[in-house]
């Protein structure tokens, strides 16, 4: 769902600014989603549904009746796969809080709350529309409504953010007792207002060493609170990891519907590593031809090998060398010996006796630099 009341200055997602979502626009968009589902479901035939994730944008701007239409259509397209993790991304706002009971009635059992911070000054510098009071009010409403699972999003490395501010954010997040926490380092994406401001020297960001210390602070505090880091930015109580997120890191088939959505089609004899399809990022173009991809990429063995390495390294488990060899014919070292030796020497990568790979703590703080060796 690409619609947002306000586009954050760090966001590079496919979004459309809409202070209000007219019913006719919403209905037309949902019609397009269901038309795309009907056109694309055959590519995923005989598969069961693992999760339904409504992201954006701000999908909680949907009227509950629209969400029900989507959920019912997806269940109908992939029957016999209950129970299913159904996640809805929610921003802290009074409109969205009022809709929570109806969202739960529609089948949503997991909420992902985009808090980002509990500090008003940080939220303002991030360009967020809400303030801390709204975060607390929305957390109360989510708990009262009785959703089975709650995930909370935080950002660190924000403009002007100090370690003490992040510590207070972690205090508040832990006190809220979510089942899952996603803590993301702020990144400057090309083409965003933040990237432009940084290029002009008008964005005061924490120093690189300070951001690394913040990441370490996040890991330590959440570990003490009982959260296990299962991916670079994601932490959960045991058994509460996101089904949806894990599918990406495990390179499982994903059917993405909507403007700007990306799919990974299942492997076939002709394309044993699958095909990646991306929808148009323009709303009018998507509505004119739902189901027609803007780009299509056959995942060659070289591309698939690189993605298997860097996506696996994002996880706490790391890269399973035997599973890698089963798919690609040889262990990672056969294809990436030079990179592995260099990264081990730099203290960024650990290699087990059987060839399994994982990032070191230092490697996690420099993960993007590590991943560049494999793509």
Residue 136: its pLDDT value, please?
A: 96
Assess if residue 281 is contained within a domain.
Answer: no
The string of pLDDT tens digits covering residues 81-139 is: 778 999 999 999 877 899 999 999 999 999 999 999 999 999 999 999 999 999 999 99
Query: DSSP secondary structure string, 174-188?
Result: HHH--SEEEEEE---
* pLDDT confidence of residue 297: 96
Same domain for 350 and 211: no
| Whether 213 and 330 share a structural domain | no
Q: Identify whether 46 is part of a domain.
A: yes
Q: Mind listing the pLDDT tens digit for each residue in 284-308?
A: 999 999 999 999 999 999 999 999 9
Mark whether 233 and 313 lie in a shared domain: no
Look at residues 223, 252, 253 and name the one whose alpha carbon lies nearest to residue 316. 223
Cβ atoms of 246 and 236 within 8 Å: the answer is no
Side-chain-side CA neighbours of 357 within 13 Å: the count stands at 30
Q: Is 257 domain-assigned? A: no
CATH classification at residue 55: 3.20.20.70
Q: Are residues 206 and 354 in the same domain?
A: no
pLDDT for 314 beyond 80: yes
Residue 294 located in a structural domain: no
Position with higher pLDDT, 64 vs 21: 64
Determine the pLDDT at residue 89: 96
Q: 93 and 22 in one domain?
A: yes
Q: Can you give the CATH number for the domain in which 354 is found? A: 1.10.10.920
Residues 227 and 321 in one domain: no
Tell me how far apart the alpha carbons of residues 61 and 142 are, in angstroms, rounded to a whole number.
16
| Summary mean pLDDT of the chain | 95
The pLDDT score that the predictor gives to residue 93 is: 85
pTM of full prediction above 0.85: yes
Residue 325's pLDDT band, with cuts at 50, 70 and 90, is very high
Inform me whether the pLDDT recorded for 251 exceeds 90: yes
User: Which of 65-79, 80-94, 215-229, 322-336 is least confident?
Assistant: 80-94
In this predicted structure, the answer to whether residue 19 has a pLDDT above a threshold of 80 is no
* Assigned domain for 286 exists: no
pLDDT mean over 176-201:
96
Tokens (6 digits) for 179: 């089942």
Q: Does the pLDDT of residue 163 top 90, yes or no?
A: yes
pLDDT tens for each residue of 197-213: 999 999 999 999 999 99
Residue 278 lies in a domain: no
- So what's the pLDDT on residue 81? 72
* Statement to judge: residues 305 and 219 lie in one domain: no
Domain total for the chain?
2
Residue 20 has pLDDT above 90, yes or no: no
Residue 79 has what pLDDT? Answer: 86
CA–CA gap between residue 105 and residue 2 (Å, rounded) = 23
Examine residue 127 and state whether it is found in any structural domain, yes or no.
yes
Same structural domain, 243 and 325 = no
144 — pLDDT class (breaks 50, 70, 90): very high
The closest alpha carbon to 318, from 254, 229, 252, 245, belongs to: 229
**Share of residues in the chain with pLDDT > 90 (%):** 93
The whole domain housing 340 covers 301-374
Q: Are residues 305 and 161 in the same domain?
A: no
Q: Do 355 and 243 belong together in one domain?
A: no
Sheet strand arrangement including 234-236: 51-54, 85-90, 110-116, 149-156, 180-185, 234-236, 228-231
Q: Residue 276 domain-assigned?
A: no
């Amino acid at each position: 769902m690409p619609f947002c009341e306000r586009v954050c200055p760090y966001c590079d997602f496919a979004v459309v600014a809409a202070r209000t979502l007219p019913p006719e626009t919403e209905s037309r968009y949902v019609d397009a989603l269901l038309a795309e589902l009907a056109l694309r479901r055959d590519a995923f035939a005989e598969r069961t549904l693992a999760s339904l994730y409504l992201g954006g944008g701000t999908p909680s701007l949907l009227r509950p009746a629209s969400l029900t239409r989507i959920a019912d259509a997806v269940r109908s397209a992939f029957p016999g796969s209950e129970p299913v993790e159904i996640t809805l991304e929610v921003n802290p706002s009074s409109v969205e809080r009022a809709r929570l009971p109806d969202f739960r009635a529609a089948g949503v059992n997991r909420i992902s709350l985009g808090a980002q911070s509990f500090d008003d000054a940080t939220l303002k510098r991030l360009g967020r529309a809400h303030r801390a009071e709204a975060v607390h009010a929305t957390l109360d409403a989510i708990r009262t409504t009785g959703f089975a699972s709650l995930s909370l999003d935080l950002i660190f490395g924000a403009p002007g953010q100090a370690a003490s501010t992040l510590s207070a954010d972690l205090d508040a997040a832990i006190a809220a007792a979510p089942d899952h926490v996603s803590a993301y380092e702020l990144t400057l994406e090309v083409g965003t207002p933040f990237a432009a401001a940084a290029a002009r020297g008008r964005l005061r960001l924490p120093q690189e060493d300070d951001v690394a210390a913040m990441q370490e602070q996040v890991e330590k505090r959440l570990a003490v609170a009982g959260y296990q880091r299962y991916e670079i930015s994601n932490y959960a109580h045991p058994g509460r990891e996101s089904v949806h997120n894990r599918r990406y890191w495990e390179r499982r088939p994903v059917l993405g519907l909507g403007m700007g959505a990306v799919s990974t089609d299942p492997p076939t004899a002709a394309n044993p590593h699958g095909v990646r399809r991306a929808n148009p990022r323009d709303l009018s173009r998507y509505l004119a031809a739902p189901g027609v991809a803007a780009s299509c990429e056959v995942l060659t063995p070289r591309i698939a090998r690189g993605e298997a390495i860097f996506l696996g390294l994002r996880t706490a488990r790391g890269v399973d060398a035997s599973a890698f060899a089963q798919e690609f014919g040889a262990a990672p070292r056969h294809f990436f010996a030079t990179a592995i030796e260099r990264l081990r020497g730099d203290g960024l990568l650990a290699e087990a006796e059987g060839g399994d790979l994982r990032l070191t703590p230092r490697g996690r703080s420099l993960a993007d630099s590590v991943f560049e060796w494999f793509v």
